[in-house]
Amino acid sequence: MNNNELIDLANAAKNKSYSPYSKFRVGAALLTKDGKVFQGANIENAAYGVTICAERTAAFAAKLDGNDEFLAIAIASDSKDYITPCGACRQVLMELCGEDLDVIVTNGNGDVKSFKLNELLPFSFGDKNLNS
Ligand code: THU
């Protein structure tokens, strides 16, 4: 699975977005080390605060399926700008996927950028802090 294929799966997931309030569709595709892909999309709620982002739906689906080793997550939206994960999603991805995760983001021109999760959430809080 290459980055472009993972991005295509993030775009396909975007079509499953439930975003009647923001009308801002986001899709994610999370790749495990053994080649499985878990898709996610944002799911909104009339009580806005309980909305969940695409990245977290993908990460939770993967965790529930018993996966603990990941390579990359691709994120797609309809925006002309690059969409990077929100702070809450960065924290969840750090916990479930680890700091070496490749975060692949796209913009409306089809351009691609890639970051390590550690670049997006440096000096993160994690289980290491609870046990020290
Ligand atoms: N959203 C995501 O799903 N992922 C992001 O990285 C940024 C924001 C969603 C949450 C909400 O449903 C909509 O986009 C607008 O904020």
Name the band, by pLDDT with cuts 50, 70 and 90, for residue 18. very high
The Cα 93–Cα 59 span in angstroms is: 7
> Where does ligand 1 bind, in terms of residues with CB under 6 Å?
19, 22, 24, 26, 42, 44, 51, 53-55, 83, 85-86, 89
Q: What is the 3-state secondary structure (H, E, C) of 36-53?
A: CEEEEECECCCCHHHCEC
Name the band, by pLDDT with cuts 50, 70 and 90, for residue 131. confident
Best of 14, 24, 45, 93 to mutate for ligand 1, by most ligand atoms within 8 A of CB? 24
Catalytic positions are 55
Class of residue 12 by CB neighbours under 10 A (exposed 0-12, middle 13-18, buried 19+): middle
The Cα 42–Cα 14 span in angstroms is: 8
Name the band, by pLDDT with cuts 50, 70 and 90, for residue 63. very high
Beta partners for 18?
A: 43
Q: What is the pLDDT of residues 25-41, one digit of tens each?
A: 999 999 999 999 999 99
Residue 132 has pLDDT above 90, yes or no: no
Which residue has its alpha carbon closest to ligand 1 atom 10? 53
Fold of the CATH domain 3-119: Cytidine Deaminase; domain 2 (3.40.140)
Specify the pTM: 0.97
Which residue has its alpha carbon closest to ligand 1 atom 1? 53
Average pLDDT, the chain: 97
Q: Where are the domains of the chain?
A: 3-119
SS3 content of the chain, % helix, strand, coil (to 5): 35, 25, 40
